[in-house]
Amino acid sequence: MFVVSFLALIAYIAHFVAVDSKNVITNAHNRRLQSMAEKVVRGKIISSDGKVLAQTLTENGSEIRDYPYGRMFAHVVGYNDKGKSGLESVCNFDLLKSDANLMTQITSSLKGEKSIGDNVYTTLNTKVQKAAYYALQGQKGAVVAMDPETGKIYAMVSKPDYRPAYVKENWTELNTSKNSLLLNRATQGLYPPGSTFKVVTALEYMREHKNTYKNFKYHCTGYTTVGTLKIHCYGGEAHGTVNLEQAIEKSCNCAFVHMSEEINKGKLASLAGDLMYNSKVPINLLANSSRFVLDKKSGTNEMAHTSIGQGQTLITPLENAMVMSAIANDGVVMQPYLVENVKNIDGGVIKETKASKLSEPLEASECETLKKMLRKVVTKGTGTRAYSSHYNVYGKTGSAEYNSAKDSHAWFIGCAERGGKKIVVSVLVEGGDSGGRVAAPIADKVFHAFLD
Ligand SMILES: [Zn+2]
C-alpha cells in the first residue's frame, strides 16, 4: 500500500515539476499559477552580499510577504500584493517554482507541507543601496549604480517610495498621490539631460574636427544669442576664454551652443542613437525609452538647445548611467542586469546570467580623451563635490531646466575606480537646481560606500 501511494506521489510530483510548472511559465495569467502558489512557499529575493530583501513568513497560520529593508528597495524589488512589480514581478515564476531535489519535495509532501520555492540572487548590494537611499534623503529623484564592465546593477533607488509590505492597505493613496509613488524613476522617469549631454556634443565635435578640436576657443560673457534665442550660462556666470576642455570643466553653455553651429545634426542624431536614445531599454523592468528628436531638418534654435541637453531631449537615470558606462568601459556597453542567478533550496544553481555585450558605440581612444576631460570636471570644475583623494573619479554635472521659470533638475553621472574595482553612478534630483551642489555629493557617498 505504502509503495503504491509512494509511487503515485512521485508520479504526481514529477508531473507537477515537469509539466505544470512549464504550463504556468507559458501563461502569466494561468489559473495554475494560483495552484502553484498553493503548493510552493514563494522563494526569497537575496542581495549580492547575502542579505534577504524579500521572504515569505507564516504569521498566525497565514503567509505574509516580508521586506526586511522596508522602503529601501521598494521599486526595484517591488511588491507582491494587488498585482506585482519590480523583481517580484519579473522573477515571479522562478520564485513560485520549486527545483528542490525530489526527495526534499516528497518529504514535504508526505508531511503535508508546501515545497520551498527557488531563491533569486540579485546583483544588488545593500551597502551601496543604503548609501544611495540615505544620500537622497527626502528629495524626489533616483540613483542608479552599476558595474560598467559587466552590466551588474549594484543599486537602484527611486524616491518618493512606499512600504512594499503594505501596498494593499495603502492602495488608494499609492494610486492617487500626485507624487507618483509607484513610479520607478530610475527606469521610468524621463528628464532633460541638461549639461550631462555635453559629453555627447563634445564627442561629436571632436569626431568632426579631429585635427582641430584642440584649437577650439570661445570667449564667454555669461550669455549669447543664437537664432532667436538668448542663452545664459548657469547663474549668468561669465567664463571668459575657454577651450573645449575648459568648456566641459566649467559647463559653459555659450561655448557649447557655438560649438553646435559646427556640428552636423544628422551625425549628432546618429551618435545619440548609438548611445541608445530612442531604443527600447534592454532591462527586464518596466522602463521608458529616452527621447532624441533632432534630425537634419531641425532649426538653429532646436540645435542650440539640444547641444546643451535642453529642448526635447529626455533620458532616464538608467540610460544616463549606461552612457557613462560606455565611456568607463572603453566604448563597450554591457547589457544591464539585476539577477545573478536562481538557486534551489539546496543551493544548486538552476539558472544564471552571463554578462553580455550590448553594443560598442565609442572607440577606446575617444573614451580616454573624454575621461581626461571629465576628470578635470571633478578636480577643478563644476563637480568637485564628487572628488576624493582615495580613488580616481571623473564625471559630469547637469542642471536641467524643465519649465519656463528656469527651475532645474540636478544631475551627476560619473565613474570611480580603484585597484580594478569600478562603479558608475547616475544621480537625478527633481528640482534639485544645481548638479554640482546637490547631485555630485550624493554620487560621492555612493562611491565611498562601494570603494572604502
Ligand atoms: Zn559660459
Q: Nine-digit cell at 177?
A: 498621490
Residue with cell 544621480: 427
Domain ranges, residue 442: 134-166+174-339+358-451
Taking the centre of ligand 1 as the mean of its atom positions, its distance from the CA of residue 125, in whole angstroms, is 39
| Ligand 1 centroid distance, CA of 362 (Å) | 27
In order, the DSSP letters of 5-56 are HHHHHHHHHHHIIIIIHHHHHH-TT-HHHHHHHHHEE---EE-TTS-EEEEE
Give SS3 for 383.
coil
Determine if the peptide bond prior to 160 is cis (ω within 30°): yes
Distance of CA 250 from the midpoint of ligand 1 (Å): 7
Q: Taking every pair of C-alpha atoms in the chain, what is the biggest distance, in angstroms?
A: 94
CA of 265 from ligand 1 middle (Å) equals: 22
d(CA 430, CA 401): 10
Q: What is the pLDDT of residue 23?
A: 44
Identify whether 93 is part of a domain: no
- The answer as to whether 239 is a domain residue is yes
Cell 573624454 sits at which residue? 370
Tell me the one-letter amino acid at 209. Answer: H
Residue 37: the pLDDT is: 78
Position 241 in a domain: yes
| Ligand 1 centre distance from Cα of residue 183 (Å) | 36
Q: How far is the CA of 342 from the centre of ligand 1 (A)?
A: 51
Q: Report d(CA 393, CA 378) in Å as an integer.
A: 7
List the pLDDT tens digit at each of the 452 positions of the chain: 344 444 444 444 444 444 444 444 445 556 667 777 788 999 999 999 999 999 999 999 899 999 999 999 999 999 998 899 999 999 999 999 999 888 888 888 888 888 999 999 999 999 999 999 999 999 999 999 999 999 999 999 999 999 999 999 999 999 888 889 999 999 999 999 999 999 999 999 999 999 999 999 999 999 999 988 899 999 899 999 999 999 999 999 999 999 999 999 999 999 999 999 998 888 888 899 999 998 888 899 999 999 999 989 999 999 999 999 999 999 999 999 999 999 999 899 999 999 999 999 999 999 999 999 999 999 999 999 999 999 999 999 999 888 887 889 999 999 999 999 999 999 999 999 999 999 999 999 999 999 98
Q: Which secondary-structure segment (H or E) carries 358?
A: strand 357-359
CA distance linking residue 307 with residue 150, whole number of Å:
30
Long-range contacts of 37-42 (CB under 8 A, 24+ apart): 37/96, 38/114, 39/98, 39/114, 39/115, 40/96, 40/97, 40/98, 40/114, 40/115, 40/116, 40/117, 41/114, 41/115, 41/116, 41/117, 42/80, 42/95, 42/96, 42/117
Cα 257 to middle of ligand 1, angstroms: 10
- What 3-state class would DSSP assign to 69? coil
Q: How far away, in angstroms, is 199 Cα from ligand 1 center? A: 16
Ligand 1 centroid – CA 402 distance (Å): 20
Residue 381, classed as helix, strand or coil, is coil
For the chain, what is the domain count?
1
Say if 332 falls within a structural domain.
Answer: yes
Q: Read off the CATH number of the domain in which 435 is found.
A: 3.40.710.10
Domain assignment present for 391 = yes
Q: Rounded to the nearest whole angstrom, what is the distance from the C-alpha of residue 63 to the centroid of ligand 1? A: 60
Domain assignment present for 27: no
For residue 143, the SS3 value is strand
Residue 1 lies in a domain: no
> What's the CA-to-centroid distance between 253 and ligand 1, angstroms?
5
The grid coordinates listed for 348 are 544548486
**pLDDT recorded at residue 140:** 96
* Residue 70 maps to a domain: no
